[in-house]
Amino acid sequence: MAHIGLVAHDEKKDDLCVWAAHHKEKLSQHELWATGTTGGRLMAATGLPVTLLKSGPLGGDQQLGAMIAEGKLDMLIFFIDPLSAQPHDVDVKALTRLATLYDVPLANNKSTADAVLAYL
């Protein structure tokens, strides 16, 4: 069982929910962690159990980063909106930097998420 972190920018939350619903059976075999708003949307869309952290701008991104640094996250799926400025961009960059530093598989879009999930 892998520990999977899930987060999406506001304009990508629907895309992540559709992706998760498509992969519901595979995701149900793993422990899911998500920032608050994203996780709530994922549970509503899929019925999957998700451990909720704080909302991204309120520290949820940093909580996922801490989990990576502590070796408690095996994979991070973070659907990023490349066309919108993010008020908490520093936190977003820190999270992606930690995933890179600790060599945690990181998917920023549907195609990469498909590949990383298939890897599991």
- Whether the pLDDT of residue 88 is over 70: the answer is no
pTM, two decimal places: 0.94
Apex 30 CA angle, 65 and 18, nearest 5? 85
C-alpha torsion angle, residues 40, 36, 38, 30 (rounded to 10):
-80
Tens digits of residue pLDDT in 93-104: 899 999 999 999
* Residue 77, beta-bridge partner list: 6, 107
pLDDT tens by residue, 9-42: 999 999 999 999 999 999 999 999 999 999 999 9
- Give me the residue label for tokens 């930690």: 98
Mean pLDDT of the residues in the chain = 94
CATH 3.40.630.10 fits 3-119, yes or no: no
Catalytic residues: 61
